[in-house]
Amino acid sequence: MPNLDSDLLRTFLAVKDTGSILAGAERIHRTQSAVSVQIRKLEELIGKEVFVRHGRGVRLTSVGEELEPVARSIVGELNNIFNKLTGAELSGSLCIGIRDDHSSDLLSSIIADFARDNPNVELNVQRSMSSQFSKALSSGRLDIAVHEVPEIGPNMEFIREEHILWASSRIHNVHKKDILPVALFDVDCWWRDVALSSLEESGRPFKIVYSSESVSGVAAAVKAGVAIGILNREMLSPDMVQLNMKSGFKPLPTSKLVIEYGRNINVELCEAMAVAIRRAFGIMK
């Protein structure tokens, strides 16, 4: 019976995370032809294709999507076991970006889990709006980030769908005003674009009365009854109310929570952090 080599799984993940055979080869320091051979061997072993080729890149097939979480679990556990058995400990520094709308408890869980297994790694955590995360990852200012995007792109690992919604104060009912007071992000963020499009489509007059570069700032304005605003469902507190079709607000598109990887990264460090992130979101124990 043929065996599924862990080396094939590592190559598979490198190609998936970078979005192309060439970029995947660069990440694991192999030639493009060698990676192509390994992907072909993997597909021959399974008997089905794991990637669909398009243009200069690739995307997962349904079989590839089924294989991905298994591959990450196997590779992650093998790395952990190897480090424990050999006494090898990761070292260096890692810069991670996390959106400010994720709870402090979640952040603490990620950091504590990572630090426990990797005490010699220096961590630099940036909590902010994620609108600049992709640029920071491309330029090398960030190594890895967990944030929300409208669509899955190269170097991204899907975690789960997130629901965004219009919210208002439960007490002040500012959403019933003739001219809607609105709180928006004052930075380049796709949530801002979604909000403006939704308001224009509704046909209701509105006025931007509050701007903030953070989700917590928008949430504070909503809670205080200053304005309505777009929030992640997890940030909806008991003193807020979700605005729905009955209130004249159509559902907003879901976003995708992802782990995004930078370029020229330390793959072992980033994978170790990704393991901690997945555990925090209950993906892998």
Each residue's pLDDT tens digit, 149-165: 888 888 888 888 888 89
Distance of alpha carbon 276 from alpha carbon 120, whole angstroms? 16
Q: 24: number of CA atoms within 13 Å, CB side?
A: 28
Q: Do domains 89-162+256-280 and 164-253 have the same CATH topology?
A: yes
Question: The tokens of 58 are what?
Answer: 């690739």
Residue reference for tokens 């002040």: 172
Domain 6-74 in this protein, CATH class: mainly alpha
Domain 164-253 falls under CATH 3.40.190.10: yes
- Write out pLDDT tens, residues 2-59: 678 889 999 998 898 888 888 888 878 888 999 999 999 999 999 999 999 887 788 8
- Write out pLDDT tens, residues 253-277: 888 889 999 988 888 899 889 988 8
Distance of alpha carbon 249 from alpha carbon 245, whole angstroms? 5
Q: At the topology level of CATH, where does 89-162+256-280 sit?
A: D-Maltodextrin-Binding Protein; domain 2 (3.40.190)
Decide which of 236 and 27 is more confident. 236
Instruction: Estimate the crossing angle of helix 104-117 against helix 267-280, to 10 degrees.
Output: 130
Whether the per-residue pLDDT at 103 is higher than 70: the answer is no
Whether the per-residue pLDDT at 106 is higher than 80: the answer is no
SS3 36: helix
Whether the per-residue pLDDT at 285 is higher than 50: the answer is no
Q: Is the pTM of this model over 0.75?
A: no
Domain ranges of the chain: 6-74, 89-162+256-280, 164-253
